[in-house]
Amino acid sequence: MANSVRRRDFLKGAAAAGAGWMVARGLPARAAADARLDILLDEPIGLISPDLYGHFVEHLGGVIYDGIWVGEQSKIPNVRGIRRALVEKMAGLTPSIMRWPGGCFADNYDWRDGIGPAEKRPRRTDFWVDTRSRPAPSGGAPLPPEPIRTGPQDFDPNTFGLHEFMRFCTQTKSTPYLAANVRSLPAKDFYQWVEYCNAPAGVTTLSDQRAAAGDRDPFKVRYWGIGNESWGCGGNFTPEEYATEFRKFTAWVPRYGLPLSYIAAGPNGGDLDWTTGFFRKLTERGKGQLDHLYGFALHYYCGSTGKRNAVDFTTPEWYELLAKADRMESLITSHWAAMGETDPTHKVKLIVDEWGAWHARAADMPESYLWAYPGSLRDALVSALTLDTFHRHADKVAMANVAQLINTIHSLFLAHEDKFVATPNYHVFEMYGAHAGGTSVRTSFVAPRIEATRDGKPHQLWGLGGSASLHDKTLVVTVVNPHATEPRECELAIRGAKVTGGRARILSSTDLRAHNSFAAPEALVPRDADVPAGAVAGGSGPLVYTFAPASVTRLRLTLA
C-alpha cells in the first residue's frame, strides 16, 4: 500500500534538503504549507513549441477506419469523409503535428496504394492483421484458431490515403509528419514520395498526378521519419545497419525549395546502446552527417501490468503507473547525454514520437479495434506529468506525439460508428495547450514523497510535480498531485514577480477510476475556479494554493 511520507519526516527532510531556501532567501521558517514550489522566472529553459502536443494516427485497429474516416456517403456526420465530431473537437486543442501512416504499419506501406481513384485502389493486408487484443488464457493452453476478420481494420481498402490524410491535416490545422518505409521499399520510393508531395505542379509526372488528384499546390511536407522502430518491426536492424540505411535514404533528396527535417528512428525506452551505436556510425564519415538529422525519436510506453483494463486497477497500481510514466524524465536526460558524446553542441534534438499508457481493449469495443479504451483519471495524470516533463526539457525535446489520437492506446478520443467521446487525456491536452509559445522557466518542488513501486521494486514518487511558462505578464503553471486521497497545500514563491490575480482549471475526481464513456461523456471534465483572493495576498505574501488529491491543475496567474 502506498503511503505518504509522514509530515514530520517530510519537514525534517525538507529542512535538510531545502534549508537553503528558508535561510538564504530570508523567508520565515513557517510550516503552514505541506509543500513549496519555487518558480524561477530568471532561469529560462527554452520556448515551449506547439509541436510538443503532437498526435499520431496509424492504420491500426479502429484509428483510421471508423475513428477518423467514416466515408463521404456515411450517415455519420462528416466533413468530406472525415468524422465531423473529431474535427470539431480538435478545434479546442493547440494545432500541432500529425504523424502518419505508422508506427509499424509504415514499414509495410506503399504510399502509391493510397492515391488515385478510391475505387481502383488495392486492398492490402494490414500489418496488424494477426494481432489479437484478447487476453491469453492463463495456464498456457493454446489459443483456439482465430476466425479471419474481414473489416477495413484488417484488410485495408486504402480509401484513406495521402490526399485524405492531408485533408484531415488541413481540417485540424495540423502539420504533417510522414514516416517512410525503410524495411520493405527501396530509398527511391521515398524520394518519389517526397516528389509527389512537394514538387510544384507542372514539373514532373508525379507532381502532375498530384495536381490531377485535386491538390495542385504542393503539400510542403517538411517532417519525414526514416522508418519506425528500426530495431524491431521496422527491420530488426542493428544501430549500425540502420545508420547506414539512414545515410542512404537522406543523401541527395531533392528539396523543391523546402528544408526537409529528417527524423531518425531512435531507441526503445532505455536502450542507450542504440543511441550511441547509431550516432557513432552515422558520423563515421564526418560530423557533417548530423546536418541531415533534425531529430532522433525515442519511443516509451508505460502500461498496466498484464495489459489490464484501463479502468480496473488498485490504488498501488495507480501509483505504479505514474511512477512508470515518470521514467520519461531519466530517458530524456540519459539519451540526451548519449547523443552529446557525438553531437556535443546538440544540433540534433530529441523527439518522442510515441508515448502513452498502454492497457487492454475495453470489452464494448470490437475486437479488431486493438487497444481501444476510454482511459481514466490515472491516464490523465500520465498525460499531464509527461507533458510537464517535456516542458522542463524544452531545450532538448523538439516534438512529441502521443500514441494515438483516437481508438487506440493513450487516445484523446474514442469512437464507434455514431458514438464519440473525448477521454480525460483530451482535457489535459486542452488545459496544457496554454503553455504553447511561452518560455519554460525552471521550477523546484518540495513536497512529501509517496512510497510506491516501479517494476516490482520500491520507488519513491514525488509528491507534487509540474512545469511553468511565461507569456509576457501571464504565468502558466501546471501541477500534478499524484496522492490518491490527500490534498496538498503549497506555497508558491515566484522569484522576480508579484501575482495580482489568477484562474485555476482543475481535472480531478474522488474516484480514481473516473472516465468518460459513450453513455456518460462528461463524467470527468475540468472545472474552473478563481485563485482565492486571500491566496494572492496582494503580492505581499507568498501565494498559497491547495491542490486537490489525484488532480491536474492549471493556474493562469497575472503578474504585476
Residue closer to ligand AHR, measured from CB, 127 or 318: 127
Residue closer to ligand AHR, measured from CB, 128 or 319: 128
* Grid cell for residue 469: 511558462
Interaction of residue 102 with ligand AHR, rule CB under 6 A: yes
Interaction of residue 379 with ligand AHR, rule CB under 6 A: no
Identify the helix (H) or strand (E) that includes residue 428.
helix 424-432
Angstrom distance (rounded) from CA 189 to CA 522: 46
The residue among 160, 181, 259 whose CA lies nearest residue 225 is 181
Is 489 one of the catalytic residues?
no
Residue closer to ligand AHR, measured from CB, 57 or 514: 57
Angstrom distance (rounded) from CA 224 to CA 244: 17
Interaction of residue 403 with ligand AHR, rule CB under 6 A: yes
* Closest residue to ligand AHR: CB criterion: 103
Smallest gap from Cβ 268 to ligand AHR, in A, equals 8
Residue type, 535: A
66: region left, alpha or beta (phi > 0 left; psi from -120 to 50 alpha): left
The answer to whether 85 and 431 have CB atoms below 8 angstroms apart is no
Q: Taking CB under 6 A as the criterion, which residues in 161-180 touch ligand AHR? A: none
The DSSP 8-state label assigned to residue 309 in this structure reads: B
Interaction of residue 103 with ligand AHR, rule CB under 6 A: yes
> In 10 A of CB 255, how many CB atoms?
11
The answer to whether 169 and 98 have CB atoms below 8 angstroms apart is yes
CA distances from 88 to 92, 422, 547 (A): 8, 11, 31
The answer to whether 69 and 417 have CB atoms below 8 angstroms apart is no
Is 43 one of the catalytic residues?
no
Tell me the number of residues near ligand AHR by CB under 6 A.
11
Contact range with ligand AHR by CB under 6 A, out of 213-221, 284-292, 317-325, 401-409: 401-409
Contact range with ligand AHR by CB under 6 A, out of 100-108, 338-346, 378-386, 424-432: 100-108
The answer to whether 321 and 290 have CB atoms below 8 angstroms apart is no
Residue closer to ligand AHR, measured from CB, 360 or 450: 360
Angstrom distance (rounded) from CA 368 to CA 129: 9
The answer to whether 342 and 331 have CB atoms below 8 angstroms apart is no
Residue closer to ligand AHR, measured from CB, 190 or 547: 190
Angstrom distance (rounded) from CA 401 to CA 555: 24
Catalytic residue among 164, 229, 320, 430: 229
Classify burial at 372, counting beta carbons within 10 Å of its beta carbon; exposed 0-12, middle 13-18, buried 19 or more: buried
Residue closer to ligand AHR, measured from CB, 104 or 298: 104
Of 51, 58, 271, 326, which one interacts with ligand AHR (CB under 6 A)?
A: 58
Query: DSSP assignment of 310-364, as one string?
Result: TT---HHHHHHHHHHHTHHHHHHHHHHHHHHHH-TT--SEEEEEEEEEE-BPPTT
Interaction of residue 409 with ligand AHR, rule CB under 6 A: yes
Of 228, 376, 425, 469, which one interacts with ligand AHR (CB under 6 A)?
A: 228
Catalytic residue among 164, 245, 317, 354: 354
Contact range with ligand AHR by CB under 6 A, out of 66-74, 344-352, 402-410, 495-503: 402-410
> How big is the chain, counted in residues?
560
Q: Taking CB under 6 A as the criterion, which residues in 504-543 touch ligand AHR? A: none
Secondary structure (3-state) at 121: coil
Q: Taking CB under 6 A as the criterion, which residues in 181-210 touch ligand AHR? A: none
Of 38, 66, 229, 379, which one interacts with ligand AHR (CB under 6 A)?
A: 229
Smallest gap from Cβ 255 to ligand AHR, in A, equals 27
Smallest gap from Cβ 99 to ligand AHR, in A, equals 10
Q: Taking CB under 6 A as the criterion, which residues in 21-50 touch ligand AHR? A: none
Question: If you compute the radius of gyration of the chain from its CA atoms, what whole number of angstroms results?
Answer: 24
Contact range with ligand AHR by CB under 6 A, out of 74-82, 101-109, 327-335, 490-498: 101-109
Interaction of residue 325 with ligand AHR, rule CB under 6 A: no
Q: How many CA atoms lie within 13 A of 171 on its CB side?
A: 21
Smallest gap from Cβ 404 to ligand AHR, in A, equals 6
Q: Taking CB under 6 A as the criterion, which residues in 340-359 touch ligand AHR? A: 354
Of 63, 68, 104, 180, which one interacts with ligand AHR (CB under 6 A)?
A: 104
Interaction of residue 67 with ligand AHR, rule CB under 6 A: no
Residue closer to ligand AHR, measured from CB, 303 or 424: 303
- Residue 493: what are its φ and ψ, rounded to 5°? -105, 115
- Residues forming contacts to ligand AHR in the complex (CB under 6 A) are 58, 60, 102-104, 228-229, 354, 403-404, 409
* Residues acting as catalytic residues: 229, 354
